Structure 1
Amino acid sequence: MFPAYNTNGLPHHDPLVAVAALAEIGYQGVALTIDHYLLAPHDPRCPEQLADLKALLDRHRLDSAIETGGRFLLDPWRKHEPSLLTADPEGRRRRLDFYRHAVDCAAALGSRCVSLWSGRAAGDATSQSSLWDRLTEGLRETCDYAAERGIKIAFEPEPGMWIDTTEKGLRLLDRARHPNLFLTLDIGHLQCQGESPAGRYLRLCGERLIHVHLDDARRGVHEHLMLGQGEVDWEDVLRTLHEMGYQGALAVELSRHGHVGLQAAAEAYAFLKPRLESLPIA
C-alpha cells in the first residue's frame, strides 16, 4: 500500500502543477476527482489534459485512480445530482454517461479504478425494492463497460447517501453479483458513523476492498479532518490493512482544505510516512 492524495483538496491549483507537487512531497499516487477544472465531460480541453496528465504520471511514476465526487458537475443547483437513484430515467442516463466518461479517463491514464457512490434516495416515494433495482441495474451497466476496458469499479458507502455503511455496501455487492464491482472505504466515514474499531470493518471487506480514503473524523460528525486531529485509531487502521495484504492506494481526502492547499498535503504525508515505515516487513 502507498500514500496518495485526492485532487479535490487542491481546487485552487492548476491540476498539472498540483500533481507534480504531490510527487515532490513524496506521494506515490493521486486520486483525480473529475470537476469543472479537471477532465470535465464535454470540455474540449479534456483530451489535451489527459495527454498531459498521462505524461506527468509516467514521468513521476505515479499510480492513479479516478474519483467521481465532484459536487456540482452535473447540476449547478443540486449537489451530486442526478444519481443512479434519481426518479427521472433521463437523469439516471446522464449519470451513467458521466461514469462512462470517468472510465474512459481511467483507461487513458492507466488508472487502477473508478470510485463512485449511490446518491441519495429519490424523493418520489419509491419502494426500497425499486431503489435497489435502479442502483444495481446502473452499476451492472457501468461495471460491464469498465470491465471491457480493464478498469475496476470501487463503490464507496457515503454518509448521508442511500448506501452509507459498510454493511450496506457489502449487501449491495452481494445483490449486484458483478465480478468487476469492489469497494472503496473511507476511514473517516467509519469513525463518523460509529463503525469502530475500523479494523473490524476493513476485515469484513477482505479482498473486495481495492481503494481506501484517509481522513480523520469524530463520531457523529461528517467532517474530513487532518490526519491525527480526530478520533481515528491510525495504528489499528494501518496495521489491519498491512496484515490483510492490502496493496492499493491510501488516498488522503481533505476536500475542505483547499484554502491551505499543498501545506495540508505535506502535513498529511508527514503524518503517514513514519507510520507506514514502522510497519513490519512481510
Structure 2
Amino acid sequence: MIQYANILPDGTSVQDQPAEAWAATMSEIADAGFTEIDPTDCWLRVADLTQARRDEFKQALREVGLTVPAISTSRRSIIDPERGDEYLTYCHRVIDAAADLGARTACFGLFGPLTDEQKKVLWFWTVDGVRNPDDPAVYARAVAGMRELGRHAAEVGIDIALEMYEDTYLGTADSAVKFVKDIDHPAVGLNPDLGNLVRLHRPVEHWASMVEKTMPYVRYWHVKNYLRIVDESKGIYLSAPAPLETGVISYRAAVTKAIALGFRGAFGCEHYGGDGLSVSAANRAYLKRILPKHVGPV
C-alpha cells in the first residue's frame, strides 16, 4: 500500500473515509490479482480505528475478497526521542488490531521520520536520515520495548517481524541478528528487507552474505529490488528501483534459502516509482514461479 497516501488530494485523511472509499481503494489491489493485503499505516492506521470502524474495515475486506496476513508500521519508532512512549503504546494497539483482523504478524521498525532534506529529493534513501544513537541506554530501551511487544504478541497468538533499515539497530545483517538475539523472545524475528540496504548510495554488504545471516530469523518479508551500479575506484554508488527478477538481489536464491530453513510466512511486495502496484503484481507472479513446488500454492 505504499503507493497510496494517507492524505487525499482534497486534504482529508484516509482515516476518516467511509468504508465504501476504503473498499474502492482495496478493489484496485484485488483487481491486480492480489488476495491478501498489508494495510500498512502509511495508508491507514487500523490500530487507531474504533472497534465499530474496524468492523467496517473487515466488512470492506470481505466485499473485495482480501485477507490480512500482516500489518506493517512505518516511521513509528519506540525509541523516537520525542514520541517513543507514544509509539510503544501504539505498537501494542497494532498487535491487538492484527489479531482482530486474523493476521499472523505485526511488523515494526526503528527508523525515524523523513528529514526535510529527504523530502526534497526524488529518492529519499539517497540522503542520510535519522540514525539510532550509539548509546547503550537507548539500545537497552529498544531491546526491552521489543521484548515487551513480543510477550504481548505471543499472548494473542501472533509473531513480530522487525524491519531491517539503514542506520538503525537493524541496519546491517550482523546488527539485526544481534538485536533479535538480545531480545531473546520466541515471538520476535526479522523482516529482512534487503532492498532497504542494497539501494543505499554507499558501500554495503553483498546481498548473498546478508541472506545467509538473516534467513534463519525471517517471520515476514518485504521484498523489493534495485539496480545497483558500483565503481569503488571512483567512489560511485548508484541505485534505482527494479522488478524483483531484474534487480541485483537474486530472490530465486534468497527465497529458496528461506524456504529450506522453514520460512512459511507472507511476502509483502513493495516498489517505489512508476506504477508501483503493477510492478508489485508482476513481482507476486515471479514469486509464485520461483517458490519451490513442495510448499504448495501461494
2:169 is the counterpart of 1:177: no
Cα offset for 1:145? Answer: 1.9
The alignment-based identity, stated in percent, is: 20
Correspondence for 2:257? 240
* Contact 2:169–2:176, Cα closer than 8 Å, also in 1: no
Which structure is higher in RCO with an 8 Å CA cutoff and minimum separation 6?
A: 1
Shift of 1:166: 1.8
**CA displacement at 1:93 relative to structure 2:** 1.4
Please report the TM-score for the alignment, with normalisation by the length of structure 2. 0.71
Alignment of 1:70-149 (within 5 A): 80=75, 83-88=77-82, 91-120=83-112, 128-149=135-156
Unaligned runs of 5+ in 1: 1-6, 70-79
Measure, in 1, the Cα distance between the counterparts of 2:28 and 2:195.
25
Give 1:111's aligned amino acid. Answer: A
Letter of the 2:72 counterpart = E
Q: Does 1:196 align with 2:206?
A: yes
Quick one: structure 1 residues 68 and 125, their matched pair in 2 at CA, closer, same or farther if it must change by over 3 Å? closer
- 1:104 shift after superposition: 1.5
**Secondary structure in 2 matching 1:110:** coil
CA shift at 1:44, angstroms?
8.2
Aligned partners of 2:199 and 2:239 also within 8 Å: yes
Q: Tell me the secondary structure at the aligned position of residue 141 of structure 1.
A: helix
Could you say what secondary structure the match of 2:38 adopts? strand
Residues 244/163 of structure 1: CA separation in 2 closer, same or farther (3 Å cut): closer
Distance 2:69 2:92 in 1: 17
Q: In the superposition, relative to structure 1, how do residues 207 and 15 fare at CA in structure 2: closer, same or farther (>3 Å)? A: farther
Partner secondary structure for residue 190 of structure 2? strand
- Is residue 69 of structure 2 the alignment partner of residue 64 of structure 1? yes
In 2, the alpha carbon distance for the partners of 1:123 and 1:8 equals 20
- What is the TM-score when the length of structure 1 is the normalising length? 0.75
Structure 1 window deviating more from structure 2 (220-229 vs 153-162): it is: 220-229
Are 1:29 and 1:249, in contact at CA under 8 Å, matched by a contact in 2?
Answer: no
Q: Structure 1 101/163 Cα, relative in aligned 2: closer, same or farther at 3 Å?
A: same
Given that 2:215 and 2:257 are in contact with CA atoms closer than 8 Å, whether structure 1 keeps it comes out as: no
| Residue of structure 2 in register with 1:72 after alignment | none
SS at match of 2:185: coil
Could you tell me how far 1:157 is from its partner in structure 2? Answer: 1.4
Pair 221,213 (structure 1): closer, same or farther in 2 beyond 3 Å:
farther
Report the alpha carbon displacement of residue 156 of structure 1 after superposing the two structures with TM. 1.1
**Of 266-275 and 155-164, the range deviating more from structure 2:** 266-275
Q: Is the 8 A contact 1:188 1:216 kept in 2?
A: yes
Give the root-mean-square deviation of aligned CA atoms: 3.4
Q: Deviations over 1:19-48 (max 9, x none)?
A: 444345443432220245452625687424
Stretch of structure 1 that moved more, 158-167 or 189-198: 189-198
Residues 159 and 165, structure 1, Cα contact 8 Å, conserved in 2: yes
The aligned residue for residue 217 of structure 2 is 208
Q: Distance in 2 between matches of 1:226 and 1:240?
A: 20
User: CA separation of 1:49/1:196 partners in 2, compared to 1, >3 Å: closer, same or farther?
Assistant: farther
Q: Count residues with an aligned counterpart.
A: 256
Residue 267 of structure 1: CA displacement? Answer: 3.0
Measured after TM superposition, the shift of residue 51 of structure 1 is 2.6
Shift of 1:64: 1.5
